[in-house]
Structure 1
Amino acid sequence: MNLRSLSVALLAVCLSSETACAVPVFLENVSETSGWYDCNKKTKWDWGSISNRPSEYYKLPLDSQLCWAAAASNVLQWWQDTRSDRDPATPNGKSATYAAMPEVGQLAIYYTIANNWTDAGGSVEQAYNWWFNGSTLPSVFFPTDSQIRDQPVFSPASPGGYWKELDMNVTYTPGGGGVADTPLFNSYTFYNHDDRNGVYGILKNNINNNWGTTLTIGQKGTGHAITMWGYDTDADGNLIVYLTDSDDYAVGMFRQKVVVDDQKYVYLTSLDGEKNVYGYSYEELGLTGCQVGEIQGFTAPLGDLRIPEPSTGVLALCGLFLPLWLRRRRP
């Protein structure tokens, strides 16, 4: 059998059985053991007692509400890892405090954002735009309480705009009618008319398209940002997603099952025998758990076009390349 015939036969097998393709699919250069990032907040790490905090703890800005910056930093560092045209002055890799505090604030990108933005809720889109273009986006479209500081917590200050030469600017329709073009990112809000196949397709689509992916989650689908690195399916056809979370008191990637309930709301739940991160259950008082409200895709072009590992290349054929309908968040 020649290579073309083998590829056609393999595609037919993948399309005929979901479980035949049930091995993990990750973003480029990511595996279960490498390539991903898990920036953690210093204020959410369990130090046990104040006396256990190293002196470097006080060299990081307060970050109790910077989950959006942590999730965006994970994606930006993964993206910068693929680029060969990065200016040497662009913050990259481990932060200056990493050796003393490998548990938290590991990335220079995160340190830079935390040092120059106030400790308040925000949007990953704001972080992406500031990192690339050195500006903020209208909060009516991309809500944020966090603002650029007049003075950084620690010197030196940063104006952002580390990738201006790529001209990845967000533009708006005349008359302020909305966003016209967002070459840096897209987003989708899950509504309760999305069925399970539709939800699964949207989540897979981001990874299949090699878009750095974040999710907005919470009791009502908002309030917290996490990073998604890949997906898998179990024997029953349930979608399993691979995540990192700035608030989970751990450094590491973990898996969660995606549940679409009878009302078509989307939830994350822990797998039997694995790390219990997000709860999901029906109780007398109603549904409790961690709802997924939105998915964001970081769409800036990667650097070198590398040939994927065999498993990733094969699974690209198995992915459902569904169109991702863009929906803008409204105030």
Structure 2
Amino acid sequence: MESRLLSLFTLFLLSGILYSCAKEDDDKVSSSGERNLEFKINVSDFQESIGGSQTEQEAAVKSLFLFLFDTNEKEVLQESRQHTFDGGVFSITLPEDVITNGVRAYLVANEEIQTKPITETELLRYRTTRQPKDFINKGFPMSTARIDIPTAVSQLPVTATLRRIPSALYVQVEKMEGIEDLYNNSYQIEIEDLQTTEGALFSDAISGNAVQEKTDYSSKLTAVNTPENIAYFYQSKDIKIHITPRRPDLGKVKDIVIDNTNTINRRNKKYLLTIKPIKTATRSMDFSLQVTEWDTEVIVAEIPLAPDGPQEDGVLFAKNVTMSSGWYDQNKAYGKEGFSYDSNLCWACAFTNMIQWWQNLYIAGGGVLPVNTPNGYIPGRETASYRQLAVFEEFAKKYPNDTGYVLTATSWYFKTFLPDVFPNHDFSEDDNTVFAEFYPSTIKDFSNILIAGFEAGGVFGMNSYPPSHVRTLWGCRYDTETKIVKEIFITDSDDKFVGIWKDMPVKVSPEGEPMANTAIIDRLSLLYPPSNVHK
């Protein structure tokens, strides 16, 4: 599968006359007080081609327009905005007093904007209405980010990037041993909710125009097993893809939704839908996403070939944890029995549970804790309902009722008490061997993170709001067909009893965010078991 489909356009903005273009090559200002600006544009093709001439057309700059603005957002007029692009250079001449601090430029390709003059704000709000059927012949609308033009030659060159406004959807059916005549056109592909009428040139804003109804794009697929383009489109919120086998032996109907509700970048994306027939007794559908320079998202849809079997929920726990053993529930004292006040230390309570679990595994695997490392219950508090674990007392001293994060606790604790276990390790770098942090934006993200983390044997600290709170996440129950987590098993430092919540429901907010009952989940901190690194 191709992982890199495009090297983005790179533009070099050069000021002055090239040595080959003028006799007095050191002169940047003419005798009449004018300034020569020369733009050199280098356009690179895809590093890996997937469509020959079509790939070249997707990368083609058929027309190029330059917009200049002063510090008041007024356009600096040129003789013409359009400049000939033939793979070489183009030049403009402007009065020297125009090239002052704050002058900036934007480049637009394959889209002529008629408004003259235009303010910078108007340009940044501009929407193209070119129809997808015209992209190949007339070019894909493209734009750069703001280019600040330097006044000093020493600051040159300036680098910018042209990005397509539309996105593309490609389809590839993978061959499978034992299945004859399996090609891209072996499946009917229908798509709905694409935005094809207009696209924002300089932002990821989604148009309020009506989206496309369900449309059959199968006629664009042929008897090959290489990626084929079926659709081009603008910024779209949700894209629904319906996959229907054309023969009974190729599986069952699958529906996929690409949710872009919380996606930051909705332009210049190439989605590669890979259809993989699989032999299995259960129904499943997985999404595997990769993003490259050309913002490629690879979506893998597994199509089950065997009849469906009875489905049961899957249950996962951290290593050596069950519903009745292996977990910890450090609770706050709120000043009782002379303990220091600890109302803000939920993050330290959560990590206390996590690190005590980790130390148990470390010792069981043959590791030896340094002499001064806190471990286990405080003598005499083995059955207490709060301030039970020795680890927490070290946090109460170091961070007296301070707010914080599990990452803060992890870094400080290992460097202070276990410096030789992970010497010089940067816990802020998510290396998926020791500790990692995640910020799930959808229920699918949340479910994927939890299932992968628990399958690796890890335990989670879970941040949620409102109110801002951190709890320890020991396990989950999930739908084995959809791979969506339905319930989580947690311990909570604020619930005033020692026990595990067995049925905390996982919900979805109106904005699509994962929720633990009524609280939005915004961060997951995963501590891997020591068996990952300790031999």
State TM-score, norm by structure 1: 0.61
Match of 1:87 in 2: 370
State the superposition RMSD in angstroms.
Answer: 3.0
Residue 409 of structure 2: which of 100, 105, 127 is its match?
127
Match of 2:395 in 1: 113
Residue 250 of structure 1: which of 484, 497, 512 is its match?
497
Match of 1:145 in 2: none
Report Cα offsets for 1:98-125 as digits up to 9, x if no partner: 15x6100111111221123221101111
How many percent identity over aligned positions?
25
CA–CA distance in 2 between the matches of 1:170 and 1:305?
A: 14
CA–CA distance in 2 between the matches of 1:163 and 1:129?
A: 10
**Is 2:488 the partner of 1:233?**
no
Q: 1:13 to 1:26 in 2, by over 3 A?
A: farther
Runs (5+) with no aligned partner, structure 1:
1-10, 45-52, 134-160, 173-178, 270-288, 307-331
Higher relative contact order structure (alpha carbons within 8 Å, sequence separation ≥ 6): 1
Report Cα offsets for 1:253-303 as digits up to 9, x if no partner: 00211112342122112xxxxxxxxxxxxxxxxxxx311111111136338
Offset at 1:14? 5.4
Mapped contact 2:463–2:523 kept (Cα < 8 A)? yes
CA–CA distance in 1 between the matches of 2:404 and 2:530?
A: 24
Report Cα offsets for 1:301-326 as digits up to 9, x if no partner: 338999xxxxxxxxxxxxxxxxxxxx
**Is 2:318 the partner of 1:27?**
yes
Aligned residue pairs, count: 226
The structure carrying a bigger helix percent of its residues is 1
**Is 2:341 the partner of 1:62?**
yes
Match of 1:296 in 2: 525
CA–CA distance in 2 between the matches of 1:71 and 1:33?
A: 18
Mapped contact 1:13–1:20 kept (Cα < 8 A)? no
Mapped contact 1:238–1:257 kept (Cα < 8 A)? no
Aligned residue identity for 2:530: P
Aligned residue identity for 2:511: Q
CA–CA distance in 1 between the matches of 2:438 and 2:485?
A: 21
The structure carrying a bigger strand percent of its residues is 2
Mapped contact 2:345–2:402 kept (Cα < 8 A)? yes
Offset at 1:87? 2.7
Residue 333 of structure 2: which of 25, 28, 42 is its match?
42
Offset at 1:83? 1.3
CA–CA distance in 2 between the matches of 1:211 and 1:224?
A: 20
Report Cα offsets for 1:21-59 as digits up to 9, x if no partner: 524211111000000000000018xxxxxxxx5xxx21x
CA–CA distance in 1 between the matches of 2:459 and 2:396?
A: 20
CA–CA distance in 2 between the matches of 1:34 and 1:300?
A: 16
**Is 2:479 the partner of 1:224?**
no
Runs (5+) with no aligned partner, structure 2:
1-278, 285-307
Give 1 or 2 for the bigger CA radius of gyration. 2
**Is 2:473 the partner of 1:214?**
no
Match of 2:81 in 1: none
Mapped contact 1:82–1:304 kept (Cα < 8 A)? no
Mapped contact 1:69–1:113 kept (Cα < 8 A)? yes
Aligned residue identity for 1:126: T
**Is 2:445 the partner of 1:198?**
yes
